[in-house]
Structure 1
């Protein structure tokens, strides 16, 4: 069975709620709060859910403390997460104790310790650590298909069969590569290209410029899903926000391709839904 439209609608409703509570947090007391910490290459997001796993608050900040899925500015990462945590605690008038986090697939041995230390260094008790595309599926609820998390430096792919993860992999190519192409094409600095890329009003022209990079991502997906029955491709991650990216990937893979209303928030919400009040060993 493929993911139904209802499943994506439920995901979109959750993301929509989260977007609302970022602007207007819900201050009704909860017996416990669950926080998802998403340390992205371009953006750090904290998503807070209540005892019923409903969004109550959230915050994010663009940063460059992570490169290609690896923490490169350890102190800077702790500082930003601690500041976002304090900001949300002041709003909710409570201490945020429990948090879950995620890492790119295949980097567990290399970076799981660093991610854990960042989360705990910011004052959280870590309760879960999972790979990013699998975390995103906590809100997508895919039974058969591939979750493709297009981040700043890498693209993570999680293949699911009857709701079970059968393969996870991470390959270079992501938003950083988009920014490099934009910088070269428009003769601007990398930082200027990053800002230009985020302007949704520019996406119609940018999708033409970035088509070769998107096609490369499509080829990565095709190579990694070879031999598996994949009924649909589901895009998440900040880079997937580029308007029209799903059309190019679908055209090149010949597999129905979908994305939620704001792909950037699927993973942090999935991380938060994986959080519990049981501290990891």
Structure 2
């Protein structure tokens, strides 16, 4: 088996284990637990790993407390993270202490403080704060290529060479724009359109409607990879759950494009994998 297939297998196996423990947490004693907090525009996810960095629990909630990578409802964000934390702690019969978090690329000067404060106000000791596509690569383990994180409001791109990030950027256009297009095309309220979009049974029907927006994302990716030697694009983020999105991006960029089993959970698991017991100083 090739190294590339082995890498994809590790990623998909971790996501499958995480999906399993969301439904049925593994309540075995661990000397420490590592939590990844993913404050997404559409969804907040907590992923918990044991001392060996294996998934043991997780929880998520769709919410509207972050927009375009920025916290717009601080109190609401803290409340949700605190509630998800308490929910998992009850299931594991332990206290979750250490957490890592992530932000969209290039927003550290604008909003990293808010993300940090949300995580700490929810009762965690923050150990790491990195950009979302780079966090996802903690799980993907891509050495050369581009990791494209299509979130609710923005598309983040990390270009890697020999396992190191050499270019990172975040651009507007994401799942919110997909939902707006569906809302207009089907004449339905935005929240209803957002829910309609998430249902896999509707993907075949809505893909042609969303194709222009996916092509817009493709052009953003193209603009940022054109000056680099990129022969592989890895898609992550909840918006990439759209069936067939990878084919359109591959056709538009001319670069081999793939996505994990469930791209929605790649970033939170990658964040958790970057967690340690080394607390970020104030």
The TM-score with structure 1 as length reference comes to: 0.99
> Is 2:139 aligned against 1:139?
yes
Q: Partners in 1 of 2:255 and 2:83 — Cα distance?
A: 42
Distance in 1 separating the partners of 2:65 and 2:3: 35
Task: For 1:240 and 1:159, locate their aligned partners in 2 and report how far apart those are by CA, in whole Å.
Answer: 18
Shift of 1:51: 0.1
Aligned to 2:208: 208
Moved over 2 A (4+): none
Q: Match of 2:126? A: 126
Q: CA RMSD in A?
A: 0.8
- How many residue pairs get aligned? The number is 280
CA contact (8 A) 1:3 1:143 kept: no
1:246: which partner in 2? 246
Could you say what secondary structure the match of 2:243 adopts?
coil
Deviation at 1:226, TM superposition (A): 1.6
Q: Offset of 1:231 from its aligned partner?
A: 1.2
1:276 corresponding residue in structure 2: 276
Partner secondary structure for residue 213 of structure 1: helix
Output one character per residue of 1:143-179: Cα deviation in whole Å (capped at 9) or x when no partner: 1000000000000000000101001000000000000
Q: Distance in 2 between matches of 1:231 and 1:164?
A: 16
Find the aligned partners of 1:69 and 1:117 in 2 and give their Cα distance. 15
Give yes or no for the alignment of 1:69 onto 2:91.
no
1:227 aligns with 2:215: no
Q: Does 1:38 align with 2:38?
A: yes
**Counterpart residue number, 2:151:** 151
Which residue of structure 1 lines up, in the alignment, with residue 58 of structure 2? 58
CA contact (8 A) 1:37 1:272 kept: yes
Question: CA shift at 1:3, angstroms?
Answer: 6.5
Q: Give the Å deviation of 1:214.
A: 0.1
| Residue in structure 1 matched with residue 80 of structure 2 by the alignment | 80
Is the Cα–Cα contact under 8 Å of residues 3 and 144 in structure 1 kept in the other structure? Answer: no
How many Å separate the matches in 2 of 1:69 and 1:30? 33
Question: Residue 250 of structure 1: SS of its match in structure 2?
Answer: helix
- 2:150 is equivalent to residue 168 of structure 1: no
User: Residues 104-115 of structure 1 correspond to what in structure 2 (within 5 A)?
Assistant: 104-115=104-115
In the alignment, is the contact (CA less than 8 A) between 1:3 and 1:141 conserved in 2? no
CA offsets per residue over residues 66-92 of structure 1, 9 Å max, x none?
Answer: 000000000000000000000000000
Distance 1:3 1:99 in 2: 30
Gaps of 5+ in 1: none
Q: What is the CA–CA distance in structure 2 between the aligned matches of 1:84 and 1:57, rounded to whole Å? A: 11
| CA deviation after TM superposition for structure 1 residue 56, in Å | 0.1
CA contact (8 A) 1:36 1:101 kept: yes
How far apart, CA to CA, are the structure 1 residues paired with 2:221 and 2:152? Answer: 16
In the alignment, the residues of structure 2 paired with residue 40 and residue 102 of structure 1 have an alpha-carbon distance, to the nearest angstrom, of 9
Q: Which residue is 2:188 aligned to?
A: 188
Normalising by structure 2, we get a TM-score of 0.99
SS class of match (1:64): coil
